[in-house]
Every structure is written in structure tokens, then in C-alpha cells.
Amino acid sequence: MTHLAILISGRGSNMQALVDSAACASADITVVANRADAAGLDFAHQRGIPVAVIEHRQFATREAFDRQLHEQLVDAGIDWVFLAGFMRILTPSFVNAWNGKLINIHPSRLPRYPGLNCHQRALDAGDSTAGASVHFVTEELDGGPVIIQSIVDILPGDTADQLAERVLVSEHRIYPLAASWVISGKARLCQDQCCFDNQPISSPIQWQDGQWSLT
Ligand code: GRF
């Protein structure tokens, strides 16, 4: 059986969306947190999902933390690693060890706004749309090939929080969809690109109002 690790640092709403998705229904899941107080752990406990807490503060270096994380994932027989609000930058050796098997969700339409405060930055730039991206993780922060992106309209008078809320609703749709594609092999990392149905895609799949399309 496919074994997924979902890595969280906080609320874990994307983790919940993955756990509740059809794509993950037939998979073994382990939730990993780098903080014992990650709120999402309550949900995992309630659902009886195995949990591993690896407190990053207990490691002297980023490398040491990532080595421990890697070893525990390997020991648990993990096939896929889904980052879901995991607030740690991973080292190149970790990222390379999980090349093609490590997926992240980021709340902007990459390559726009990698890093933090994406929603405020989109508002400040006067953008008319925002969204989220699911991508393969590479050494470049928020820079790996994007599988799918949502398109969410920015409304007049939107605050960053209001926009974040609507983008999050779309995250809960596109992350499970992308997970189903990755697990089934429909989407995969081929060289430095995302391949969909064995064809490299020149731009990410777009998702809007519940529909996805390949452009
Ligand atoms: C989401 O917006 C995700 O895109 C970003 O961090 C946030 C995590 O939210 N990487 P949650 O913990 O999944 O609720």
C-alpha cells in the first residue's frame, strides 16, 4: 500500500483535506510535525492517524534535523512526502533524496510571490487574481515545477485575510487533486519539468471554479 507522510507545522487544514480525499483513502498516512503544539495534530489523533513529532529546536543544525526526518521517513517506508504548511526550509540533500516524491502547496500563483506574505504582496501589486500552486520541491525555495494552480479573483476592498481565506478554499481542492495525479503517476517530475500523461507541460494546469484545464 502507498504510504504518505504529510508534514505540518500548524493548523493543518490542507493535511485534513488530503486525509479526507478519495486519493488518499486507500493509502497509509503518517502525519509528521516539527512542533509538538501544531494544532493539526489534534485532528490526526482524533482520526487515529500515526503521528511523529520531530522538534526542530532539539537539533543543533538544519542538516541534523533533516537527517533525522529523512531517516524516520525511510524507516516508516514512506513513498511520498506532502508538505502542508510545513514552515521549515529543507536542505538540498533532503530535497534531492526525495526528488520527484516531495510536493508542496504554496498560496500564490508561482513564480509570483515565493516566500511569505503572498496575499498582501498580491494586493499591493494591484493584481486582479491570486491563487495557490502545488509543485514538486526542488532546491530553489518555492521554485520547483508547478503541477496545478488555482485562480481566485481578487475582489474590491479585499484584505489579505479575506483573500487568504478564499485562496485556502481552493487549496483544499487542488492539493487532493494533485495528490491523486502524483500517486497514480499521471503527474510526475521528468527531468526538470512536470509531465502530465507522459507529456511535459509548458505551463501548469489551471483550476478555476471547480474545473481544471490544461492550456
Ligand atoms: C497554506 O496556505 C499553505 O498554502 C501554506 O501554508 C498554509 C498552511 O495552512 N504553505 P494549513 O496549515 O494547511 O491550514
- Inform me whether the pLDDT recorded for 15 exceeds 90: yes
**Residue with CA nearest ligand 1 atom 14:** 13
Residue 65 three-state SS:
helix
Give the model confidence (pLDDT) of 47-101 as tens digits.
999 999 999 999 999 999 999 999 999 999 999 999 999 999 999 999 999 999 9
Give the model confidence (pLDDT) of 125-150 as tens digits.
999 999 999 999 999 999 999 999 99
Contact by Cβ (8 Å): 193, 187: no
Place of cell 481542492: 173
45 a catalytic residue: no
Tell me the pTM. Answer: 0.98
- Inform me whether the pLDDT recorded for 23 exceeds 90: no
Q: Tell me, using a 6 A CB cutoff, whether residue 132 lines ligand 1.
A: yes
The Cα–Cα gap between 19 and 11 comes to 14
The Cα–Cα gap between 177 and 172 comes to 9
Give the model confidence (pLDDT) of 157-197 as tens digits.
999 999 999 999 999 999 999 999 999 999 999 989 999 99
